[in-house]
Chain A
Amino acid sequence: MQNLSPHFPALIIIVPLIAALLISAAGWLNRRFCFPLAALGLFTSLLVSVGLLSSVLVKDVILYRLGGWPAPWGILYRIDRLNGLVLVVIFFVAFLNLIANKRTVEESFPEQLGGFYALYVLFVTGLSGMVATGDAFNLYVLLEISSLTGYALIGIGHERAPLAGLNYLFVGTIGASLYLLGIGFLYLMTGSLNMTDIGSLLPGLYNNPVVVLAFLLCMTGLFIKMALFPLHAWLPNAYSFSPAASIGVIAPLTTKVMIYVMIRITFDVFTPEFSFKMMHLGQVMVWLSVAAIIMGSLFALAQTRLKRMLTYVIIAEVGYMVGGFWLGNRMAVTGAVLHILNDAVMTLCIFLAAGAVIYQICGDDFEDFKGLFRKMPISMAAFTVAALSLIGVPPTCGFFSKWYLISGGIAAGHYGFVVALLFSSLVNAVLFFRIIEIGYFEPFPEGGHGEHHSPPAMEIREAPAGMLVCLLLAAVSLIVLGLYTGDIVTRIIDLAIPPAI
């Protein structure tokens, strides 16, 4: 058997793509094969992405020409340290969430297993393709693959999910279309779609209004997709009404991958010089993210249900990364990239913990958490770790990325951003300690949870083993990521950021 490693950049897309086809076939023939196929596909891709990251650490950049066509004409897949890291995160999160939610999927969609798992794996395919590709138009196609499957994954849920999914679809389509229009202008100006090729052709044209317009259109499209305040309105409904298995992969990954794409476009298609200095956007963007952080935190405070509260925390977290990135100094950009990684795992962990609790007590009102530390000690311990990380307590990884972001803010002299970050940490502390306090100190109500159709008190116990193992893995990886922050920054992120910054 020949060595497949030169083909890793293609395999990372092709394996889950074929898995998705097989899964939907299995959905017709024998539904028992759907889950193993999905798990196998995502696990293979996880291994491949780890292989890619380790070879990128040695080789700097891996270029892969799809179909053997040379660069500006054919589609080029380009793996460097930045997207090698993001790829590993994508498959890690997707695989853990898939295993954890095996039972909730089987119980919610017994008839639609093939469809659900095929959508799930296609969604991950789209995301990883967006990250791996070096072609601006290919990125649009993969963006739409992940978006369309995302709408379906949300809309497949019950109650208000279809309506929320439809509204998300309207807004998401506008965002993707604006990106497509921006790429169209870039193509008009340069005649190329390859990101590095456009990047080398553009510098002479930076004063051209069409190029400026293209930049603004691409960015606006991406801001809509990443739910940056004030373009965030679609997110809370879409995320809080969707099924647990969908939200566990959509919430950690969608916004983070969009932020990765923003970084890729501003660095590779345009230059940091153009994006940060010539456009005079830095201040505007940082203040917008300050607004995102503060408004996200305030809205989160106003919620009484856990899932909905978490959606506003996500909006605040988007502000962290966008703001850190547009501060434009090395420290803050490092923090933003590190936070992509950390926030994906934190969000995974908190949504898995929330999913385990909701699965057991059938509700996510804060009142439902009474006495849960006694009944579900392991899930609640993992919940606490994720909460500490979101607050930013060492040695969890959330502390370190926040540290870099705050140092970057101070280095840039942007104290508004620093204050917003500290304010959001305080609010997160209030948000999560409120729940932890209810869970730890208040006794479990004798008669069950009254208005909900939840099982009586005696029957509430720990979540199923599969869920717990994944939850614990996610919680442990939060601490491991925190402890190895130094290595991740010096060996990967520092070398991934262009030296010009």
Chain B
Amino acid sequence: MGVELFTDIASQYNYLGVVILMMIGLYAMIAKNNLVKKIIGMNIFQTAIILFYVSTGAKRGATIPIIQHGHNGHGHEVIHAAEYINPLPHVLMLTAIVVSVATLGVALALAIKVYHQYGTLEEDEIRGRLRE
């Protein structure tokens, strides 16, 4: 089942996009000096993985996963999985989006605490202040 799903995705440019986004996020987290920019980088990193999951649910020529004419007595017809996109990755990502929003919230709250303590969000200035 899974292998067919995998081969169904003929063009794989979505993975390329995901990897590029991940690397942008990772670069920002490592190289940026400003804490908020790092937080944005982290968010891009997480969003790349969310996009990865969402893109895996897609199928060519398929429609949203609501059974057509299901409500007027014809619900017992054979349902072809290939006609509907896979909703499960999308549902999983609802949870992951909530997680990433919560992470963003915690990160920003900590950044505010750091700002109140040191009066700056630039990492090198904070480090300088710690050495004093």
**Which B residues have a C-beta under 8 Å from some C-beta of A?**
1-3, 5-6, 26, 29, 35, 38, 42, 45-46, 49, 52-53, 56, 89, 92, 95-96, 99, 102-103, 106-107, 109-111, 113-114, 117-118, 126, 130
* Given A137-B92, A173-B42, A181-B49, also A163-B126 (CB < 8 A): yes
Task: Report the Cα distance A169→B111, complex, angstroms.
Answer: 11
Given contacts A148-B102, A184-B49, A188-B2, 13 further A-B contacts (CB under 8 A): A148-B99, A151-B110, A155-B109, A162-B110, A162-B113, A169-B103, A169-B106, A169-B110, A181-B49, A187-B56, A188-B6, A189-B2, A210-B6
Task: Report the Cα distance A165→B103, complex, angstroms.
Answer: 12
Q: Which among B46, B89, B109 is the interface contact of A177 at CB below 8 angstroms? A: B46
Q: Is the CB of B46 within 8 A of A191?
A: no
A206 to chain B, nearest CB (A): 13
> A34 at interface (Cβ–Cβ under 8 A)?
no
Q: Is the CB of B29 within 8 A of A177?
A: no
Contacts of B89 in A (CB 8 A): 184, 187
> A269 at interface (Cβ–Cβ under 8 A)?
no
Q: Which of B42, B49, B106, B109 has the most CB of A within 10 A?
A: B106
Q: Determine the main DSSP class of A at the interface with B.
A: helix
* Given A151-B106, A163-B126, also A184-B5 (CB < 8 A): no
Contacts of B3 in A (CB 8 A): 189, 205
* Given A137-B92, A180-B96, also A165-B110 (CB < 8 A): yes
> A141 at interface (Cβ–Cβ under 8 A)?
yes
B37 to chain A, nearest CB (A): 12
A381 to chain B, nearest CB (A): 37
Interface size for A (C-beta < 8 A) is: 31
Q: Which of B53, B107, B110, B118 has the most CB of A within 10 A?
A: B110
Q: Which among B5, B29, B45, B92 is the interface contact of A191 at CB below 8 angstroms? A: B5
| 0 or 1 for each of A215-250: is its CB under 8 Å from B? (1 = yes) | 000000000000000000000000000000000000
A403 to chain B, nearest CB (A): 41
* Nearest residue, chain A, Cβ from B38: A170
Contacts of B130 in A (CB 8 A): 160
Q: Is the CB of A166 within 8 A of B5?
A: no
Q: Is the CB of A173 within 8 A of B2?
A: no
What are 5 contact pairs spanning A and B, CB under 8 A?
A151-B110, A163-B126, A166-B111, A174-B29, A177-B49
Task: Report the Cα distance A174→B35, complex, angstroms.
Answer: 16
* Nearest residue, chain B, Cβ from A201: B2
Q: Is the CB of A152 within 8 A of B106?
A: yes
